[in-house]
Amino acid sequence: MLMKNTGSIHGVCAEERKRKLQNDPLFDKKLKESKYVKCAFSQTGKVSEHMWVRIIELDDSKRKLKGILDNDPQHLTNVKCGDLVEVKYAEVEQFL
């Protein structure tokens, strides 16, 4: 039987990854060693999309990072590949 990803399972998995990552005592060290992070982007009335951001600046005092969106959204129209974005550390789902 073919199963489709409805988005809700992906969202639950992303939230679980994010929770585990945030509780990692080495979170800050791993973030500093990473080139990319994955996080969710959303838009009113649309599905959220989980996309990669290339890190260009970390701000530990504000617990935020700036980066360049490195994916083409499939459904969102409020962001595009190459946009400068700001992400709270608490929204990071994955490192790369």
27-49 per-position pLDDT tens digit: 999 999 999 999 999 988 777 89
CA distances from 5 to 2, 24, 42, 56 (A): 10, 28, 18, 32
In this prediction, residue 7 carries a pLDDT of: 43
Q: What is the mean pLDDT of residues 46-64?
A: 93
In this prediction, residue 18 carries a pLDDT of: 82
In this prediction, residue 3 carries a pLDDT of: 33
Which domains, ranges and CATH numbers included, belong to the chain?
30-95 (2.30.30)
Q: Which two tokens stand for residue 14?
A: 């992303």
pLDDT-derived band at 20 (thresholds 50, 70, 90) equals confident
Q: What is the mean pLDDT of residues 59-64?
A: 95
Q: Residue 51 pairs with which residues in a beta bridge?
A: 39
pTM to 2 decimal places: 0.81
